[in-house]
Amino acid sequence: MRSRLLILFLCLCFSGFTQMTQNQYIEKYAPLAVKEMKRSGVPASITLSQGILESGSGNSYLAKEGNNHFGIKCHGWKGDKLYKDDDAKDECFRKYNNVEESYRDHSDFLKDNSRYHFLFEFEITDYKAWAIGLKKAGYATNPSYPERLIGLIEKHELYNYDLGKAKPSNIKPNRVNNNENNYVDNFEINLYAEEILENNRVPYVIAKTNTDISTMAKQVDLMSWQVIKYNDLNKDDTIAANDIVYLKPKRNRADRSNEYHIVKSNETMRDISQKYAVKLKKLYKKNQIEQGTELVPGTQINLRKRKR
């Protein structure tokens, strides 16, 4: 009887020291990372690798006591808090009711903080650019932070989750180098597979019918936020038959054959953006025009060079 009680006691003691492995962490939280990617646009591979690194695979004090998996501090935080020595003594960290709150706040922290906005210009499968960008923006002070994230992503093939699947396939997604001189190749899609066109080296399709963004996103195997972002839409906009729908981000400038455009009657800046596959905000910046300004017919809109 005593031996059984001793065994039970030892089991209870050692169970408190059980550590989650990296693989267990990935299996448990990958669906949450994918869910957040679809909501916010932060690559699931980046979220998972940061979670592993920042929380010690969920075993850190912050993770266990405060469900804080990303080491986010209290700046501007009005919720519960906990304190831990970090760069300084007794630093304040955010405390969450559950891990899902931590994942959501991590996404919102990146989306709502202006210093991270440039990250969302990168293709969602370009995990290396995201990792380097996080360090550049000051997320961490460790100079090897990008290499550590990239190492985790490649070790566990976390890039597969960036395809939007709760469980990874064994197919590596196409990497997109953000250099404007590189062509998009090997692009695969479902319903429109044989109808992909290209403008300014950006792949696009022509909408077959009037449809909503969600339906179009499913048809071209993208997420809704991608269709919205790549085509400068609002979430409640509809897509009309024969509209251009870009499948990748538009470019910063038009090709060399299109230096400028002369505004026609009732034409908007977005119309011009779609016509030449140039990012809308870049057009506004090049021409020093405030967003929402009604264009005057006959106005010259520069497509490549910034207006002096």
- Write out the DSSP string of 114-165: GGGGGGGGS-TT-HHHHHHHHHHHTS---TTHHHHHHHHHHHTTGGGGGGS-
Distance CA 224, CA 235 (A): 8
The neighbour count for residue 103, using CB atoms within 10 Å, is 25
102: three-class secondary structure by DSSP: helix
Tokens of 109: 């922290």
Predicted local confidence at residue 73, as pLDDT: 92
> What confidence tens digit (pLDDT) does each residue in 167-217 have?
554 434 434 333 333 323 333 445 565 578 899 999 999 998 999 999 998
pLDDT band at 75 (very low <50, low <70, confident <90, very high): confident
Residues 6 or more apart whose CB falls under 8 angstroms from that of 183 comprise 201
> What confidence tens digit (pLDDT) does each residue in 85-144 have?
776 788 999 999 999 999 999 999 998 888 998 898 888 889 999 999 999 999 988 899
Predicted local confidence at residue 308, as pLDDT: 63
Percent of the chain predicted with pLDDT > 90:
61
Query: Does 62 score more than 90 pLDDT?
Result: yes
Predicted local confidence at residue 2, as pLDDT: 52
Flag the least confident range among 22-31, 139-148, 162-171, 239-248: 162-171
Residues 6 or more apart whose CB falls under 8 angstroms from that of 121 comprise 178, 249
Predicted local confidence at residue 87, as pLDDT: 66
Q: Hey, what domains does the chain have and what are their CATH numbers? A: 22-163 (1.10.530.10), 202-246 (3.10.350), 260-302 (3.10.350)
pTM, two decimals, is 0.62
Sign of CA dihedral 7, 12, 13, 18: positive
